[in-house]
Amino acid sequence: MKPTLQLDSHGRLRHLLTLEGLSSELLLQILDEAEIHDQALRGPDKRQATLTGRTVINLFFEPSTRTRSTFELAATRLSADVMNLQIAASSTSKGETLFDTLKTMEAMQADMFVVRHEASGAAHFFAEHAAPGVAILNAGDGRHAHPTQGLLDLFTIRRYKGPDSDCFKKLTVAIVGDVLHSRVARSDIHGLRTLGAKEIRVVAPPTLIPAGIEEMGVKVFHDLDAGLAGADVVMLLRLQKERMLGAFLPSLAEFHRDFGLTRARLAKLKPDTIVMHPGPINRGVEIGGDVAYGPHSLILQQVSHGIAVRMAVMSMILGEPRAPVRAKRRSRR
């Protein structure tokens, strides 16, 4: 992976593929931009003209109504023209046809692709082959990265533990659950490290911790109570039930007993601990329903912030005058 692929020669964001390698200045710039959008979304008219006439294509090789909705709404509210394409990954699994799809949709004068794919690295593949002036936004690729989720998590933490961006340096963050399969966990860890989080913990049974994760600068816990002790932020991960049973876990009930966040466990934590989850939740598995909608939970706020963060990234990448870049692209054709 080449993180520099994401920046143009002026150091501005060109694609968003991963939070790995992005500077704290750039991360905070995105969060600041998102604050402005979050404010604007509170009024009745949530439209602004920033991306009028630009074309954003949601290219989803893996179905996800919920994630697609957030990108669709973000682009629509920036006045972009949005088109949703749901493509069976099976029919385009080969790089050759991914390439054909990219080039064909580029030829339809698309300005940005929001790409979701089950294969790690798919968004990088698109970015490496995209024409100048065409932007790629990673909406989740395999186990690799989900950078806008990472950004909205950082935004939410700063909103409730800040407002000072230095707040991260005082925070102990516990990431709980299926770290092994989680692109969300990877993006969260990259972002939290860059912003200087005091301590990052991953808490899961050994079968759900990837080998060598300590090298990312995190502490590994296999006991939930130990992992939660003193945490300021608890980030729960979604358990992909369908691919879990048998291979990695004895039973969902056992997972809940050992690693589920219940009201009783929450009561032992600091009163200002915040609880986060990327959704959709599995009630009674990684989280109790009463915790999900309880006073510590920021799960719905995360959803709201997700729109603002995606609007920020889209407008930072596409909203500026890019006339010279675009002129170059067109003359090549």
Run of H or E including 172: strand 172-176
CB of 108 to a copy of itself, least distance (A): 6
Build a one-symbol-per-residue string for 162-201: x at contacts with a copy of itself by CB under 8 A, - elsewhere.
Answer: ----------------------------------------
From residue 44, alpha-carbon distances to 36, 39, 47, 77, 237 in Å are 15, 11, 9, 12, 33
Q: Does 243 bind a copy of itself (CB under 8 A)?
A: no
Figure out which of the listed residues 70, 172, 187, 315 binds a copy of itself, where binding follows CB under 8 A: 70
Binding residues for carbamoyl phosphate: 66-67, 116, 146, 149, 279-280
Nearer to a copy of itself, 24 or 304 (CB): 304
CB of 204 to a copy of itself, least distance (A): 24
Name the DSSP letter for residue 86: E
Binding residues for L-aspartate: 94, 183, 238
List all residues 6 or more positions away from 287 whose beta carbon is below 8 Å from its beta carbon.
Answer: 236, 260, 261, 275, 277, 281
| Residue 112 exposure: Cα atoms within 13 Å on the Cβ side | 32
Nearest-CA neighbor of 260 among 164, 138, 176? 176
Locate all alpha helices (DSSP H) within 142-223, ordered by sequence. 147-161, 183-194
Site residues for a copy of itself, 84-103, by CB under 8 A, read 85, 87, 96, 100, 103
Burial class (CB in 10 A: 0-12, 13-18, 19+), 38: buried
Binding residues for a copy of itself (CB under 8 A): 41-47, 52-55, 65-66, 69-70, 72-73, 76-77, 81, 83, 85, 87, 96, 100, 103-109, 111, 279-281, 283, 289, 293, 300-301, 303-304, 306-307, 321-323, 326-327, 330, 333
